[in-house]
A = this chain, B = another copy of it.
Amino acid sequence: MTERRPIECVCVYCGSSVGSNSSYSVAARLLGGELVKRGISLVYGGGSVGLMGSLAEAVNSDGGSVLGIIPYSLEPEEISGKTPGQVVVTSGMHERKTQMAARADAFIALPGGLGTLEELFEIATWRQLGHHEKPIGILNVNGFFNPLLKFLDNTVAEGFVSAKTRANFIVDDDASELIEKLCVAYLNMQPNEL
């Protein structure tokens, strides 16, 4: 077995809104800075609005590498202003998510809406099905995800999710700590192509 190289690229799922207080965009920018500090590139859903924009601009202005992946159909709605860094335009939503997942070594969910939740649960389902062996982190800013984490505990208690699958979600409220946990998890996993 060859040793796995460290994490080189993280895919971040997050809101196309900034949220109702500034702590969310502060957290997004801090996460961006922590990625750049470690030489980890960012892949995300593209655009310059919401937390997606805050994060991408932070990585770009700190000299990091940013790749935004945008479906052709969403361009008018999600792209207000220029996406920092490089852009790939895909034919649809599914191709977008597939490309985001394939390019990343790990995933982080920040606060967001239905799209963010869908992306988080899709990548977690793909992990459960053995389609990839890449760690999944949740940056629990302000305890935003607490009720969701409680719900996930409930799915285990009620027999719908195994404790092993539940443990695939790595949670921290600090960006630096979360990245460190993901790096350790990544090196301990068997590589599997997405």
- Chain B residues lying within 8 Å of A121, measured Cβ to Cβ, are 114, 117-118, 121
Q: Of B112, B114, B159, which is within 8 A of A17 by CB?
A: B159
Instruction: Tell me, in angstroms, the Cα distance from A148 to B114 when the chains sit together.
Output: 12
Chain B CB within 10 A, most for which of A114, A117, A128, A165? A114
- Kindly report how many copies of this chain are found in the complex they form together: 2
Interface pair A165/B114, CB less than 8 Å apart? yes
Chain B residues with CB under 8 A of A125: 114-115, 118
The stretch among A62-70, A79-87, A150-158 that forms the contact with chain B is: A150-158
B159 pairs with A18, CB closer than 8 A: yes
> Given that A147-B154, A150-B147 are known contacts, is A114 also in contact with B24, CB under 8 Å in the complex?
no
Asked if A12 is at the interface (CB within 8 A of a chain B CB), the reply is no
Contact A128 B114 (CB under 8 A): yes
The residues of B that contact A111 with a CB separation of less than 8 Å are: 155, 158, 160
What's the Cα separation between A18 and B116 when bound, in Å? 28
In the complex, the answer to whether A154 meets B144 with C-beta atoms within 8 Å is yes
CB distance from A143 to the nearest CB of B (A): 9
Residues of B close to A151: CB separation below 8 A: 145, 147-148, 151
When C-beta atoms are compared, the residue in chain B nearest to A144 turns out to be B158
Q: How far is the CA of A116 from the CA of B151 in the complex (A)?
A: 13
24 contacts between A and B (CB under 8 A): A15-B160, A17-B159, A17-B160, A19-B159, A19-B160, A20-B157, A21-B158, A21-B159, A74-B129, A112-B160, A113-B155, A113-B161, A113-B165, A114-B125, A114-B128, A115-B128, A116-B160, A118-B121, A118-B124, A144-B154, A144-B158, A147-B151, A148-B151, A151-B151
Residues of A whose CB lies within 8 Å of any CB of B are 15, 17-21, 24, 74, 77, 94, 111-118, 121-122, 124-125, 128-129, 142, 144-145, 147-148, 150-151, 154-155, 157-161, 165
